[in-house]
């Protein structure tokens, strides 16, 4: 089942309601082992539950974490830049449909809702990320949006006004798949695509980089630099094949 505010093109077997993710035991575990923060990143307007240096699993052995690796629990630089850009430029999403691909903690999807998007779908392959997104929506007094827990690039193309993706070009095979899939979305529907990335070599060295237009560059706050091996800035790119 999908919620009433879903994009009309969504497949019912794909988009899940937030209630699907509200397992009380998992929620309690996440709340015990993450921290609510709104500082040290580019979007102090958005509160998020994340892993921080004060959390047990920041230094604990990774194999003790009982779920898939919690990539969602880090507010990555590309996602920060996208979220900041949307909050500062709400007209790019207002009254439009937005797909947040590889949503993680859900910050960019939350920014889109805050900025007036009429339909938002968040996507991630980790069901625990779905739980985290619901919790983060609650922290920001945002009505939870539908969440697709699967590799959405393997599904039928849907029409979106805007697709956003941050920090997704970390693997060559995934980068190739995204390059192909995003190109099809643009060709078929004229979808606008914004990509956030701090300049990882897997991204800057990929062929897609030749088809990008630099939209905005943000200097990263000190805590984000420290958590990301000294990366100093993050850029929003428009993909224009």
Each residue's pLDDT tens digit, 205-225: 999 999 999 999 999 999 999
Q: Please give the tally of structural domains in the chain.
A: 1
Q: What is the CATH number of the domain that holds 121?
A: 3.40.50.150
171 domain residue, yes or no:
yes
- What is the pLDDT, as a whole number, of residue 22? 72
**63 in a structural domain:** no
How far is CA 58 from its chain centroid?
21
Residue 35 has pLDDT above 80, yes or no: yes
- Mean pLDDT computed over 168-179: 93
Q: What is the pLDDT of residue 155?
A: 80
Q: How far is CA 172 from the centre of its chain?
A: 19
Residue 56 lies in a domain: no
- Judge whether 8 lies within some domain: no
Q: Considering only CA atoms, which of 37, 32, 82, 93 is closest in space to residue 57?
A: 32
Alpha-carbon span 233 to 123, nearest angstrom: 25
Q: State the residue range of the domain holding 190.
A: 77-239
Is the pLDDT at 14 greater than 60? The verdict is no
Q: What is the pLDDT of residue 20?
A: 57
Is 1's pLDDT higher than 60? no
pLDDT band at 5 (very low <50, low <70, confident <90, very high): very low
User: Where do runs of H (alpha helix) occur along the chain?
Assistant: 24-33, 56-59, 77-88, 107-114, 127-139, 172-189, 201-204, 222-227
Beta bridge partners of 193: 163
Q: Is residue 131 part of a domain?
A: yes
Residue 45 maps to a domain: no
Residue 60: its pLDDT value, please?
Answer: 87
Residue range 12-18: mean pLDDT, rounded = 47
* Domain contains 6: no
Task: Answer yes or no: is 99 within a domain.
Answer: yes
Whether pLDDT at 34 is above 60: yes
């Amino acid at each position: 089942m999908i919620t009433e505010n879903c994009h009309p093109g969504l497949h019912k077997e794909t988009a899940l309601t937030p209630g699907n993710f509200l397992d009380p035991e998992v929620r309690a575990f996440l709340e015990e082992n993450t921290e609510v923060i709104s500082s040290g990143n580019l979007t102090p307007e958005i509160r998020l539950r994340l892993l921080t240096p004060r959390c047990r699993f920041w230094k604990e052995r990774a194999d003790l974490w009982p779920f898939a690796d919690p990539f969602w629990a880090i507010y990555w630089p590309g996602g920060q830049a996208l979220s900041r850009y949307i909050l500062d430029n709400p007209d790019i999403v207002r009254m439009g449909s937005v797909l947040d691909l590889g949503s993680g903690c859900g910050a960019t999807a939350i920014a889109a809702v805050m900025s007036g998007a009429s339909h938002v779908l968040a996507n991630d392959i980790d069901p625990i990320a779905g739980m985290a997104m619901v919790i983060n929506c609650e922290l920001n007094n945002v009505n939870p949006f539908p969440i697709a827990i699967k590799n959405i690039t393997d599904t039928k193309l849907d029409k979106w006004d805007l697709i956003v993706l941050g920090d997704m070009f970390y693997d060559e095979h995934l980068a190739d798949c995204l390059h192909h899939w995003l190109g099809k979305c643009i060709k078929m529907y004229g979808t606008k695509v914004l990509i956030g990335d701090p300049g990882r070599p897997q991204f800057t060295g990929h062929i897609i980089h030749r088809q990008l237009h630099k939209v905005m560059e943000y200097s990263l706050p000190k805590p984000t630099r420290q958590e990301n091996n000294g990366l100093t800035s993050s850029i929003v790119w428009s993909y224009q094949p």
